[in-house]
């Protein structure tokens, strides 16, 4: 089969876009929310050079089976803080993704109203039979991001 499906997911967050962008790009923050329920990011695997051409890396680990690991190695092909980043990524350990064929991840951060942010994720190409699963996984991760942002806002007294 040919990988030819692009997944698009959107979510609006009750936080300024600079804050949401930072949650995506700062290693210590990304490690707090990335991963679907039942997964976590191994904190010591997270790294990132926040610039055009910069490399980034993280590993997600299945909670119930720590031997199940999915690694992401990417290079920023566009990087405009706090508006958008695009990354060419090789993903290892995911049975639905060829680790030798890079996926493109585009994440856009749009200011909505006074302090909200619309995040739009565009990623692919995927094989048709795994695309919907990855869309569902992104939805779950964005729920975790919303929870993380709400918690950090409360802690900061906002």
For residues 120 and 48, give the distance between their C-alpha atoms in angstroms, rounded to a whole number.
21
Q: Is residue 128 within a helix (H) or strand (E), and if so which, with residue range?
A: helix 128-155
Q: Indicate the number of domains in the chain.
A: 1
Question: Which structural domain, as residue segments, surrounds residue 78?
Answer: 5-155
The tokens for 79 are: 């990087």
Check: pTM over 0.85? Answer yes or no.
yes
**pLDDT string in tens for the chain (158-residue length):** 577 899 999 999 999 999 999 999 999 999 999 998 999 999 999 999 999 999 999 999 999 999 999 999 999 999 999 999 999 999 999 988 999 999 999 999 999 999 999 999 999 999 988 898 899 999 999 999 999 999 987 666 65
- For residue 26, the domain's CATH number is 3.30.530.20
């Amino acid at each position: 089969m040919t990988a030819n499906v692009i997944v698009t997911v959107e979510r609006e967050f009750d936080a300024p876009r600079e804050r949401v962008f930072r949650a995506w790009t700062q290693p210590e923050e990304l490690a707090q929310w990335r991963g679907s329920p039942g997964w976590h990011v191994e904190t010591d695997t997270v790294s990132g050079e926040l610039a055009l051409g910069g490399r980034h890396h993280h590993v997600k680990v299945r909670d119930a089976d720590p031997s199940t690991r999915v690694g992401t190695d990417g290079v920023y092909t566009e990087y405009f803080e706090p508006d958008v980043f695009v990354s060419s990524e090789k993903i290892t350990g995911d049975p639905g993704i060829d680790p030798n064929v890079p996926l493109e991840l585009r994440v856009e951060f749009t200011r909505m109203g006074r302090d909200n942010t619309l995040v739009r994720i565009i990623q692919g190409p995927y094989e048709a039979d795994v695309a919907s699963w990855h869309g569902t996984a992104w939805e779950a991760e964005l729920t975790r991001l919303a929870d993380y942002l709400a918690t950090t806002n409360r802690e900061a007294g906002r």
